A and B are shown apart, each in its own frame.
Chain A
Amino acid sequence: MDGFLASPAGVLVITVAQTLALLVPVLIAVAYLTWAERKVLAAIQLRKGPNVVGPFGLLQPFADAIKMLMKETVIPSGANRLLFIMAPMLTFLLAMVAWAVIPVQDGWAIADINVGILYLFAISSLGVYGIIIAGWASNSKYAFLGALRSAAQMVSYEVSIGFVIVTVLLCVGSLNLTQIVRAQESVWFFIPLFPMFVIFFISALAETNRAPFDLPEGESELVAGFFVEYSSMSFALFFLGEYANMILMSALATILFLGGWLPPINAEPFTWIPGFVWFALKVALCLFVFIWARATFPRYRYDQLMRLGWKVFLPFSLFWLVLTAGVLKLTGWLPA
């Protein structure tokens, strides 16, 4: 048996099993995130939310999925067929592929690579392609405008996310995600780097096109933005991709700032709970804030969004990066 597991075929089998073990919970989480969002929004707006299908409406996501599957896939006559179909697949695929390097517990990453954080950054910077291709291939002006807005928005906010990540890297001295979490054993980074945590979180909202930065799909001016022409499963893939990205960004925030799988206090009752549960709880907390923000803030205007990204976040994160480097150097805390 050991011999088989060491052979190339065995490695393949193990990897597939690991992937399934990670992606199935993620997909279920995506399904219940849509449910949780509707419930939380409803609670904030003094409504009940979905409560008909199953107890507490718990089967609602599955009902929605079946409804989506039964619908007809419509491809507009002027659309570029190949790209039109590829775009939602790309979005969904990228949202899934990124999970390969996420360590949900010490040593529980499918690929514990040296440049894990760069890999995540690279994958998340590709997310824009699904949207921009969808907007262009639809051959519709609303979709196209949504796509252009989104391209500009994502590229702008990636810059400040990059600086935030570099600041964390300065404190860790490694690009490996497991190392980043281990470096937080004494103190989680959101305490010393609180301003960067805030910037990261807001940029993550913009990066995932969530309210109050959901301009690419602004209903009032763009009908529904880049996916206005999509229906059925192709629409569902965008939908799943968006929510999977939210979870991914929350996982990233957890790893970079909230100590990953580490318990809040390294003492008896807390250490009984396994690390991946802590990880999931922290991700859930971030997701709750995502939804909370959606319920609370009105949508930004486009020029305000750009101004915030380039004139506020970029200089501030740059300043904080230099400050962090200076403090680390002067105090001698710079990791070897």
Chain B
Amino acid sequence: MAWTLALPELVLALCGLAILLIGVLPKRDTFFPMAMAVTGSLLLAAVLVLGQQEGVALNGLYVADSFSSFMKVLALIGAALGLLLALDYNTRERLNRFEYPVLVLFATLGMMVMISANDLMSVYLGLELLSLPLYVMAAFDRDAGRSAEAGLKYFVLGALASGLLLYGASLVYGFAGTTNFDRLAAAFAAQEGVSPGVVVGLVFVMAGLAFKISAVPFHMWTPDVYEGAPTPVTAFFAAAPKVAALALLARVLLGPFADLAAQWQQVVVLISIASMLLGAFAAIGQRNLKRLMAYSSIGHVGYALMGLAVVSDVGLRGLIVYIAIYVFMNIGAFAVLVAMRRSGRAVEQVEDLAGLGRTDPAMALWMAVFMFSMAGIPPLAGFFGKLYVFLAAVQGGYWTLAVIGVLTSVVAAYYYLRIVKVMYFDQPPEAALERAPPSLSVVMATTGLFNLAFCLFPAPMLAAAGIAAAALLG
């Protein structure tokens, strides 16, 4: 049994245990060193992922291929950046307990288990290993009613989603006789027609996963949890877990259930359209930036799913590129949100950005870059993300999807551009926003440069995404 194939996961888990053990011993505050250690562990895991061999191991429960490597590296980078956002904020808000980075690490481990899952049981355990730390992190500011409410709401609805997933998985197991992806694929390929039990099971599994990516019929928790959770936690929620859940959804649908594409395609199309519409229209009236970002992320998931809905290698490549770009736009935008402070207190309304263009031109510039990128305005990275999924939809003949996608982007551009307008054309209030701390400035600059420079060097990422997509589609 080639257990060494899962070396990145093993190393990350051992690092997590060691950090937990070391962090708990000293009496004084160990938040910063532990956060640095976790960042180091995440990067170490990313390096190990890059050097990973391909294959199936651990009794068929674990798979490593180009797709998993790409998505894992993306999730690890997203998690590391998300943790960097918390450094300054958590210290100032007295959330600087060392368990925070440890929870980030275990959540990331859960993502890696999900991405590498080759069995419905690994799927479930990975999902739970991701979800439990997220519930705790949402309630991390335990003395604030909002945060506790967010944690509780997320926990209850997340448990429901897990229940749906398990229900679906047990139905699939009952009708197919196995939970292993390869054997499931073989069973469905050999079978004449599809039994309704498998389809019902598949729909429940999709519902459980759709909850995690907050796609439309299962999105209700998103705005409340995003608003209530501490801002760096929201930033973390919006980036890395989405990568893992989308990767998992793609692997489940295109792996074991590839022969049932006719059954699930309609569902994905509907979810995609509904998410794009809701993301575009529900955010228009939002004045709270975190809620606005919640709706924006729902919309983005809709676009990404469009790549899955067309069931082709071009579409899958579009999805991969989209989610990669989404992570960098989102982390950057949240870096600005985390940095928003007026006279020592965190603020989060759209009006609080007024006049930022004059008081802090650098931060305003980066925010403008992220907003333009999210709106999909060329030549920023977000434009290319949308371009590839729309192209795939057009090539596949899914005109409705493409047209709705373009129209909703136009609508969504309104609220992104409104933020830019508020920053540059509104009167600043008496007290300006505080300067961003260095850790956040670095994150803003890095992600901002990525968004700016992507148009110049798109080839490496496109090539990598192409290889990853080819690996999944076989």
The answer to whether A and B touch in the complex, with CB atoms under 8 Å apart, is no
